Structure 1
Amino acid sequence: MAGRVVAVTGGGRGIGAAIALRLARAGHRVAVGDLDGELARQAAADAGRDALGLELDVTSRASYVAFLDAVDERLGPVDVLVANAGVMWVGRFEDEPDEVARRQVDVNLHGVLLGMKVAAPRMLSRGHGHLIAMASAASKVTPPGEATYAATKHAVLGYCSAVREELRGSGVEVSVVMPGVVETALAAGTSSGPAARRLTPEAVAKAVHGVLDKPRFEVHVPPAVGVLTKLRAVLPRAAADALHRAVVPDQLAQGDPAARRSYEHRALGPGAPPAD
């Protein structure tokens, strides 16, 4: 079904920009929201097809309302919200600055909550819509060095599961997309593990496109991640732990903190000191 109005948060670069580009090329009317309004406008220009780029702070209800109001006015009522904005700090949990932890919770979790709270009533009034949360394989697995990030993604999955039940039969679909490590700035200096290759943003965008055409709740990218999590759930604890350590990257042992400095200071602010 082409021609839907799709709003993508965190769309100025990386996965969000790839989603906007793919969906615009598929004939959808796309609005890109990003904290950096200039990046949002550039991503929209790249997408073409009258795509719209707007500044959006996903941690602010007022900003979210203004964003969706602008999209409604210029493109039409939003049919699909892709809540993609996210940030990540990597390091030992006890070394993580409190303000950095709060920033991840504000963007990764509260940003999804706010988006759904603001967008869902509009969709419900029309009897149709699709809420898509961009989570992570960290919604199901727990890479060392990503404790708070994993916690926010676990929470997104739980929240969306409850919202899905509340919206059952309403005509509004809920989906959670959970990719592995993707080649973006957020993943700079991280490891994808010994048994996995990094995904491209385009591969994740393809999965989002697929779930628009065929709605389902849990979408793993690649699908093998879903098989892994199901296998771990039925194995004895010792075997499950051994499997986890064999395939899930240990960012403390395998990551490159120096390669993350630029990203973390940009995304998380000066409260994210360079790791030793």
Structure 2
Amino acid sequence: MPRSSTVPGSKVVLITGASSGIGEATARLLAADGHRVVLGARRAGRLAALAESIGAGGGNALPHVLDVTDPAGVRSFVTAAHDRYGRVDVLVNNAGVMPLSRLDALRTDEWDRMIDVNLRGVLHGIAAVLPIMQAQGGGHIVNIASVSGLRVDPTAAVYSATKHAVRALSEGLRQESRELRVTVISPGLTRSELTGSIGDGAVRAAVEGQMGIAIPAAAIGEAVRYAIDQPAGVDVNEIVVRPTAQG
């Protein structure tokens, strides 16, 4: 049975990219633990259905249409959460795209999209929550990176660059903060809708051919749960989660 959202330790958790994949799985897990989840994503229908499903199971979820590339939209998302619950305890920067391709394919619009969503989107989230977390004397920012932030493979140069940047940004934020906790979670092959953003058919087929070993999105949700459930003085800085069979 889900815990009541009023139990001690219940947190207000904002999740971007919440309409599917890792974001959805994380929202379901944390809501079942009694946390109040605020769901942000572009697809209003999917968000509404997820919030309804969580509510039907006894959880507490607030949907909010969100495009992380829009700074004003991200501020509105955070403000809505703060207005409803009076605080913001955790931000999970999860929204991301992965249109892999070789650099010489010159798919520059896709490069820009990855930079806008994967990096600027994280920055917009940090900028929106940081003043609130500082004013309340604490908070936790969880950035979903990738094992591509630990290595670079052909077709993944720009994607890897954005994920390396997220790891560097997270470490900088951690070092600047004494009242905030900062966690980077780097998934390996995980079942999600990310491959659908790959416009190069040959690359998409190659990536999808590897997905037989992929772990469920809930495995990453479990990593988020572990990090945020630690005592206030314990900051889990980085978690890497791969399929056992992934090289």
- Bucket of the pairwise TM-score, normalised by the shorter protein: 0.7 to 0.9
Letter in 2 for 1:75: Y
Taking structure 2 as the reference length, the TM-score comes to 0.85
Match of 1:178 in 2: 186
Task: Write the distance in 1 (CA, Å) between the matches of 2:149 and 2:157.
Answer: 11
Unaligned runs of 5+ in 2: 1-7, 197-203
Residue aligned with 1:125, SS: helix
Q: Of Structure 1 and Structure 2, which has the larger fraction of its residues in helix?
A: 1
Q: CA deviation at 1:37?
A: 2.1
Task: Write the distance in 2 (CA, Å) between the matches of 1:185 and 1:193.
Answer: 14
Task: Write the distance in 2 (CA, Å) between the matches of 1:83 and 1:10.
Answer: 8
Match of 1:47 in 2: 54
Alpha carbons of structure 1 residues 54 and 131: separation in structure 2 relative to 1, 3 Å = same
**Larger displacement relative to structure 2 (94-103 or 36-45):** 36-45
Letter in 2 for 1:129: G
Residue aligned with 1:51, SS: strand
Contact 1:13/1:43, CA 8 A, preserved across alignment:
no
1:13 counterpart (20, 24, 34): 20
Match of 1:85 in 2: 95
Match of 1:150 in 2: 160
Contact 1:6/1:31, CA 8 A, preserved across alignment:
yes
Contact 1:42/1:53, CA 8 A, preserved across alignment:
no
1:193-232 correspondence to structure 2 within 5 Å: 197-214=213-230, 215-222=235-242
Task: Write the distance in 1 (CA, Å) between the matches of 2:116 and 2:61.
Answer: 27
Letter in 1 for 2:154: P
Q: CA deviation at 1:224?
A: 7.1
Query: For 1:189-224, what per-residue CA distance to the aligned partner results, in whole angstroms no more than 9, with x for missing partners?
Result: 415859x92110011100110011133111111397
Unaligned runs of 5+ in 1: 226-245, 248-276
Match of 2:11 in 1: 4
Contact 1:87/1:107, CA 8 A, preserved across alignment:
yes
Q: CA deviation at 1:73?
A: 1.6
Alpha carbons of structure 1 residues 128 and 218: separation in structure 2 relative to 1, 3 Å = same
Q: CA deviation at 1:2?
A: 3.3
1:32-111 correspondence to structure 2 within 5 Å: 32-48=39-55, 49-111=59-121
Taking structure 1 as the reference length, the TM-score comes to 0.76
Contact 1:5/1:76, CA 8 A, preserved across alignment:
no
Q: CA deviation at 1:46?
A: 2.1
Residue aligned with 2:64, SS: strand
Query: For 1:230-260, what per-residue CA distance to the aligned partner results, in whole angstroms no more than 9, with x for missing partners?
Result: xxxxxxxxxxxxxxxx92xxxxxxxxxxxxx
Q: CA deviation at 1:148?
A: 1.0
Query: For 1:97-116, what per-residue CA distance to the aligned partner results, in whole angstroms no more than 9, with x for missing partners?
Result: 21111011000000001101
**Larger displacement relative to structure 2 (151-160 or 141-150):** 141-150
The percent of aligned pairs where both chains have the same amino acid is 35
Residue aligned with 2:161, SS: helix
Q: Indicate whether 1:125 and 2:141 are aligned.
A: no
Task: Write the distance in 2 (CA, Å) between the matches of 1:8 and 1:72.
Answer: 14
Match of 1:24 in 2: 31
Higher CA-based Rg: 1
Q: CA deviation at 1:141?
A: 1.3
Alignment RMSD (CA, Å): 2.0
Task: Write the distance in 1 (CA, Å) between the matches of 2:166 and 2:157.
Answer: 14
Aligned residues: 224
Task: Write the distance in 2 (CA, Å) between the matches of 1:73 and 1:90.
Answer: 38
Task: Write the distance in 1 (CA, Å) between the matches of 2:243 and 2:166.
Answer: 19
Letter in 2 for 1:216: V
Q: CA deviation at 1:124?
A: 0.6
Query: For 1:117-171, what per-residue CA distance to the aligned partner results, in whole angstroms no more than 9, with x for missing partners?
Result: 110110011111000001101110112211111110000001111111111x2x2
